[in-house]
Structure 1
Amino acid sequence: MIKQTLKRIYSIFLTVHVSSCGIAMSFENQGSAAEDAQGWRADDIYVNSTESIKALDVLAIKNKKLITYDLNGKAQSTKLSSKVNLVDVNATNEVKQIYAYLEAVGKSSSAIFGHQSDTHQKAGDSTLSCSDTYDITGSYSGVIGIDALSLVGNEYSASRYNSELRNTIGGEKIPETAAGNVEAAAKLTNYNIENGAIITLSAHMPNFSFVQESGSYDGINSYSKYNFSSYTPNTIGGDVMNQLMPGGKYNEIYTAYLDMLADYASQVEGAILFRPFHENTGSWFWWGAAYCDEATYKNVYKYTVEYLRDIKQIHNLIYVYGPSCDAENTEQYGLRYPGDDYVDMIGFDMYNIDPAQDNTQWYTNFQNELNIVEAFAKEHKKLFAVTETGVGTSVADDADNQTALHKSENKAKDWYQKVQAMVANSNASYFLVWANFSEKDGFYTPYVKAINEDKSLYGHEMLDYFIQYYNDPTTIFAADQKQILNNDIKNINIKAKATTKNAIGYITSPVSGSRILDNVTITARVTNAKKKDAVTFVLTGATKQTLTAKASGDEVTYYANINSDILKALGEKTGTIELLINGVSNDTINTIFNIPEAVEDPYCVDNFENYSGEDSILNKKWSTNKNTGDTISLSLTDEKEKINSGSYALKFNYDEASNGWAGATLTKQADWSDCNALQFFTIPDGNNQKVVIQLTANGKVYETYLNEYEQYRISTAPMLITIPFATFCERDTEGKPTGGLLNDCSNITSIGLWVNAIADSAAIKDGRVQGNIYYDDIMAVHSDSTTVNFELR
């Protein structure tokens, strides 16, 4: 829930903050702050630095070993691999070099500092440089993140390049077109590489069901047909993830988007850590767990890799898998992992919300997640990193949009040092904090407002702490690694070894979770196949049916037909289709044979009667999410006293830390404009935690908090609750106004059931709380009630 709020605020940041590099606030060189015309003194919040920047800890390569420094400044050597396993055996030399370097850094006692948008978004004075990190330290961050939004004219553009970076590096102006925007992003990236940074590319992809044609197709670049610049990754709808594969409704638009990424990568003169479909284990993006099952996610990821690598012949990408931070063990981490043959590097995203100096729980959770991901990386022989982190706040400062660092009175000023110590002590090679959009719109590092006459810095209250962090010998910034990355490592011959030489594949059609009611063709993509390789599909329903697959003309696509006799033999059953190559299972998707979808009542969210009593089917429909260290379990109960009607109800079990949260979401596309309330049967657990009923409508999140009502707070009695739409608050709007759902209820897209722990509540025992809440007959209704109504049953 907290992370969802943070991500929703990000969407506001990215929509509002499109073309500005930073707030154009300029101060004269000064020894103390000036007073403005209104009498407000800047020194109310800004400070002068007292720490000095120490000399660079320049890394070196000697005898094919990477020389870094430990916490005491003592030189440390780590062997550079001469052969690396890569998804792309034809990878460029730069990819092999960066892979070997990151591997060595991970094994050392050092870690690289990463910062999203380090050289094209900032919170400090825009006249000083293009980077807040540079303003403080004299170096750019060692890893610089760029998002695909910078390729489409949103976070960066040809126009910005022409007026900013071109003045630094020279050259001709770039046309302000779709292709020009891509070229501008590539030139910015090359500038960062030349200055010693490693590049990571994330992709806040638009919801392709909302993408419109641009009207400015250039006749060359497929992506110029479409307008990809709007920020809609949080907009849920269109069943997009299940429609991206060949034959899918949005495949043509998606491949045009990938063509754009390929055009960018082809112009980048170095390696790119490509991290698509990130934070997929949450449900705040349209590619999240609530909107596709595990098999679909994996196969779309695999298809993306093969499209860029094999069809577009892009060979300077290192493929990164970066979910959220909710894995309790390596088995859970691997549930949506696309596989060793499609992933080079793994990571996780984890933010510290509302940190306190004396609160160690987040650091404990962070260390636990580090351990889990490190263990998975070792088991699968992959690189690993903390792909996103940072300090956030649940409430923005007054008059600001930001929910990142505060302008003043931050509680955990030494946060970077603590995270550095944990990351450097692991095999992770870097951690990356999110972008400094502006002083008003959110920032994850301190920043400089002016340089004083004595060359000290004037700005954010954490300047000295960040300088201390930079001075730590174990930290690596761009200037520290520039020499070895741009020169020394290029003299080492590093070879690539394919992750496998065997034939491998995955099913492209039907998509996982499909109902098969008529004759249909099964298709799969198989690479590395030879004529002798046997490719088969095994269908499991009421019986098992094995089909021999045939290769199509492209020698990559394999297919087989399900005819009426085979379909009849499979019976009315939930089942699977498995792809076998030479008897080895490569992929399994879920299917429903010969069972038509029940006629859906548009007003019924769920009565829990359509799962045949099987928890596995329930958990494919409802997607769960939780904080690190917490657990949630959904199951069906047939206990009569727990049920309102029918044979089953939902049992919602949670076990959370005192700062924990957990919940479940269900996708529901509906028009409820002729209703005015949500009604459901429930049995509370009396724990007085923050129980949230959530509706997503028209791209907005609306919530009701049941613990705010005396009738619910400590009750354990069965009750029917009716919540008028007018009482739902708009979660992500300042002041959380009510009433908006009445206008947006014509476009319902999902419902969520959540429990957030309340740290000081009586139910917290030994730092944890656990309970069971029951739900049944959740539906939209028309009610005469104008307030939330609780009817005991």
Structure 2
Amino acid sequence: MIKKIRSLAMGTVLVAGLVSCGSAKEVTEVDSRSGSIRTTETEHLLKSLQSMPAKGFMFGHQDDTAYGIGWDGDADRSDVKSVCGDYPAVCGWDLGHIELGDDKNLDKIPFERIRQDIIAQYLRGGLNSVSWHLNNPLTGGDAWDVKTEGVVTSILPGGAKHELFLSWMGKLATFLNSLTAPDGKKIPVLFRPWHEHTGSWFWWGKSHCTPQEYKELWKMTHDYLSSHGVNNLLYAYSPGSEKTVDEYMERYPGDKYVDLLGFDCYPSAKPEGTDEYRTLMTTVLTYLTQLGKEHSKPIAVTETGLEALPMATWWTEVLFPLLDKYPISYVLVWRNAREKPNHYYAPYPGQASANNFVEFYNQSKTLFCKDIKSLYK
């Protein structure tokens, strides 16, 4: 079982800070190992993630309650819930375009809807995970615009786009600080910045910056948000599915800046894709289990899934047997796009794998919202 490192007995000090939206006091904790200041609920979330493998692993789905196959924006709806009767324990969200001041994210979800759905998931006791597919600050293109080199260099201190990037992070900080429950407490979020950086399809990827520049980018992001009152984040390190520990850790910014070790892994569409997926998942999960122990971090499969789910028994014959062997805190499958045919990763009523997903749901180790009393107490 992964060691718990965030506790009052190990040097955590309680301090009080004023909540920005009122006069109610918010209790925070200073972790003596990292020096970071976080809300008590956020520290409790970390402890819950560390102890989760003793119970099982949480199931997650990107954009789960915002839209799905054949619907968009309905209240209290979820494709996962429509199939198994329960919400995912983890809901993933993306804040791409928050930096532009837009009212909707890159997948056309209003940011106000995301905020309300994050609150609802928190009140259900579940976890919210947030990524950020931000635009290219040097070219004005999207996150996948990699035609021009030197983007990361341009936003580091002294770079031509440094001040612009700081203004973008200011907008991000404002949104994250706005995530408050009805009682005024800030809602903890697992933040997954600069993900899949061991590939080169994003402008912050491996071919577009040095390991040192990547680490500086991560630390700058962490320190800026902390200095602007964002004390409700845990940080997830989330590369692609690299075959060796050295590749996985090459750009690791350090234990002080990371709270969870994860990775993203998808099977290819080739006929042998499932076998390759099994091999790669086993390789990464094996060394990630050891890294989690060495660094005292919970581990997770931060993105995965089989597009369009053509294999009716994928949930119990592929995914569950892989995850059952390892002490992961959660697994998250990608979104069910309502605007892109056959781009979905969770079943919906009538989908070929729906019955098998119910079998997956009924496994004692798969944890959904009804299985999670609260992650924050």
**1:1-37 deviation line (CA, Å, top 9, x unaligned):** xxxxxxxxxxxxxxxxxxxxxxxxxxxxxxxxxxxxx
| Distance in 1 separating the partners of 2:312 and 2:80 | 19
Map 1:154-169; keep pairs closer than 5 Å.
154-155=105-106
| Distance in 1 separating the partners of 2:146 and 2:273 | 37
- CA spacing shift, 1:120–1:417, aligned 2, 3 Å: farther
| Distance in 2 separating the partners of 1:94 and 1:299 | 28
Tell me the equivalent position of 1:119.
65
| Distance in 2 separating the partners of 1:255 and 1:301 | 13
The reply on whether 1:138 has 2:55 as its aligned counterpart is: no
The reply on whether 1:419 has 2:319 as its aligned counterpart is: yes
Q: How many residues align?
A: 342
Higher relative contact order (CA 8 A, sep 6+): 2
> Please, which of 251, 263, 266 is the counterpart of residue 336 of structure 1?
251
Deviation at 1:460, TM superposition (A): 0.9
- Aligned residues: percent identity? 30
Tell me the equivalent position of 2:367.
476
Tell me the equivalent position of 2:17.
none
Length-normalised TM-score, structure 2: 0.83
Instruction: Pick the structure with greater CA Rg.
Output: 1
> Please, which of 201, 208, 232 is the counterpart of residue 291 of structure 1?
208
Question: What is the CA RMSD across the aligned residues, in angstroms?
Answer: 2.7
Q: Decide whether the 8 Å contact of 1:346 with 1:385 is kept in 2.
A: yes
| Distance in 2 separating the partners of 1:261 and 1:133 | 29
Deviation at 1:337, TM superposition (A): 0.5
Higher normalized strand content (fraction of residues): 1
Deviation at 1:361, TM superposition (A): 3.7
Tell me the equivalent position of 2:190.
273
- CA spacing shift, 1:264–1:114, aligned 2, 3 Å: same
- CA spacing shift, 1:81–1:355, aligned 2, 3 Å: farther
> Please, which of 264, 269, 289 is the counterpart of residue 374 of structure 1?
289
**1:304-358 deviation line (CA, Å, top 9, x unaligned):** 111111x212110001111111232x23321111111111111111101237699
SS across alignment from 1:341:
helix
Deviation at 1:128, TM superposition (A): 8.6
| Distance in 2 separating the partners of 1:103 and 1:372 | 17
Map 1:433-472; keep pairs closer than 5 Å.
433-438=333-338, 440=341, 442-448=343-349, 459-472=350-363
SS across alignment from 1:144:
strand
Amino acid at match of 1:141: P
Q: Decide whether the 8 Å contact of 2:66 with 2:114 is kept in 1.
A: no
- CA spacing shift, 1:479–1:334, aligned 2, 3 Å: same
Amino acid at match of 2:135: P
Map 1:776-787; keep pairs closer than 5 Å.
none
Amino acid at match of 1:338: P
Length-normalised TM-score, structure 1: 0.41
| Distance in 2 separating the partners of 1:306 and 1:384 | 23
Tell me the equivalent position of 2:20.
none
The reply on whether 1:303 has 2:212 as its aligned counterpart is: no
**1:611-631 deviation line (CA, Å, top 9, x unaligned):** xxxxxxxxxxxxxxxxxxxxx
Q: Decide whether the 8 Å contact of 1:114 with 1:141 is kept in 2.
A: yes
Q: Decide whether the 8 Å contact of 2:152 with 2:209 is kept in 1.
A: yes
Tell me the equivalent position of 1:385.
300
SS across alignment from 1:187:
helix
Q: Decide whether the 8 Å contact of 1:340 with 1:380 is kept in 2.
A: yes
> Please, which of 48, 53, 57 is the counterpart of residue 101 of structure 1?
48
| Distance in 1 separating the partners of 2:276 and 2:294 | 27
Tell me the equivalent position of 2:277.
362
Q: Decide whether the 8 Å contact of 2:289 with 2:299 is kept in 1.
A: yes
Amino acid at match of 1:468: E
| Distance in 1 separating the partners of 2:253 and 2:4 | 29
- CA spacing shift, 1:472–1:320, aligned 2, 3 Å: same
Deviation at 1:81, TM superposition (A): 6.8
Q: Decide whether the 8 Å contact of 1:128 with 1:135 is kept in 2.
A: no
- CA spacing shift, 1:134–1:381, aligned 2, 3 Å: same
> Please, which of 300, 313, 316 is the counterpart of residue 232 of structure 2?
316
Map 1:59-78; keep pairs closer than 5 Å.
none
Q: Decide whether the 8 Å contact of 1:207 with 1:232 is kept in 2.
A: yes
Q: Decide whether the 8 Å contact of 1:146 with 1:201 is kept in 2.
A: yes
SS across alignment from 2:255:
coil
Tell me the equivalent position of 2:24.
none
Amino acid at match of 2:105: N
SS across alignment from 2:267:
strand
Amino acid at match of 1:262: A
**1:68-92 deviation line (CA, Å, top 9, x unaligned):** xxxxxxxxxx999745767453211
Tell me the equivalent position of 2:18.
none
| Distance in 2 separating the partners of 1:255 and 1:471 | 46
Higher normalized helix content (fraction of residues): 2
Deviation at 1:125, TM superposition (A): 4.6
| Distance in 1 separating the partners of 2:68 and 2:35 | 35
The reply on whether 1:263 has 2:263 as its aligned counterpart is: no
Amino acid at match of 2:123: E
The reply on whether 1:325 has 2:254 as its aligned counterpart is: no
Q: Decide whether the 8 Å contact of 2:196 with 2:238 is kept in 1.
A: yes
